[in-house]
Amino acid sequence: MKLDEIRIPRFDAYERVMHWMAALSFVYAALTGLALWTPVLYWLASLSGGGFVIRGTHPWSGVLFSVVIGWMYRRWAKTMYLDADDRVWLTRLDKYATHQHGALPPSGRFNAGQKMLFWSQVATGLLLLVSGVVLWFPEEMPRGLRLAAIAAHPLAAIGSIGGILVHIYMGTAAVPHSMRAILRGWVSPEWARFHHPKWYKVWRDSANLR
C-alpha cells in the first residue's frame, strides 16, 4: 500500500458526535452567558431571541454541556492521565510553542497540552454546573451561596472560554489536518508520527507494517 493512502483511525463516530455536541452546546452557552454577564455584550442576546429567551435557554445549554462533559470523562479520562513523558513535556511548553520538536519527549494519543485542556474543562465544567444551578433558582437558593456563585460562575467561564479559544486556534490553524481528524475521524501516518509518536507506534505494531 502507498503511504499516502493509509488512513489511521483517530476518532470513531461516537467520539466525533460527542466532541461536537460539547462544542456546539459550549459555544451556545458561552455566547448567551457573555450576554447575561455584562450590558456591554448584551447585544449577543439578539442572536438567539433576546434576553428573555436566553435567560430560559442558557441554563439548559449548560446542562447539556455538563452531560456531554460527563460522557467525555467516561470515554477519555483513562487516556488523559499524565505519564512521565508528559510531565517533562509540560516543562518544555515553550519548545512546543516555538516548534522545537526535537526537544520534546514523545506524546501518546494525546499530548500533555491536550490532556491539560481536558482536565481544565472537566474542572471548570463542574464548577460552572454547580454555580450555574445556584444562579438558576434565585428564590430557592440561600443568599450566601448565590453570592459565591455570582463570582465563581464568571470566573470559571473566563478560564474555560480562554482555554477553548486556544483549543480552537490549535485545532483550526496551528495543527493542520487535525480538523479532518475530529470531523471525519482519520489522520495520515505522517501526522500521527509527528504529533503523537507513541500512539503511532502502537498503531504501527498492531498494523504489522514491518
Of the candidates 66, 114, 124, 131, which one interacts with ligand HEM according to CB under 6 A? 114
Asked if 6 touches ligand HEM (CB under 6 A), the answer is no
CB atoms within 10 A of CB 157: 21
Asked if 203 touches ligand HEM (CB under 6 A), the answer is no
Say if CB 198 and CB 188 are below 8 A apart: no
Nearer to ligand HEM, 26 or 134 (CB): 26
How far apart, in whole angstroms, are the C-alpha atoms of residue 180 and residue 171?
A: 10
105 secondary structure, DSSP code: P
- Residues engaged in binding other proteins (CB under 8 A): 1-3, 6, 35-40, 42, 45, 50-52, 54-56, 97-99, 101-102, 106, 135, 138-139, 143, 146-148, 150-151, 154-155, 157-159, 161-162, 165-166, 169, 173-176, 189-191, 193-195, 197, 204, 209-210
155 binds, among ligand HEM, other proteins, none (CB under 5 to 8 A by kind): other proteins
Closest among 27, 38, 35 to 56, alpha carbons compared? 35
Nearer to ligand HEM, 26 or 89 (CB): 26
Say if CB 67 and CB 102 are below 8 A apart: no
DSSP run (H or E) holding 187: strand 186-187
Asked if 66 touches ligand HEM (CB under 6 A), the answer is no
- Which one of 32-40, 86-94, 111-119, 136-144 is the stretch in contact with ligand HEM (CB under 6 A)? 111-119
Asked if 164 touches ligand HEM (CB under 6 A), the answer is yes
The three three-digit cell numbers of residue 131, written as one number: 454555580
Say if CB 173 and CB 2 are below 8 A apart: no
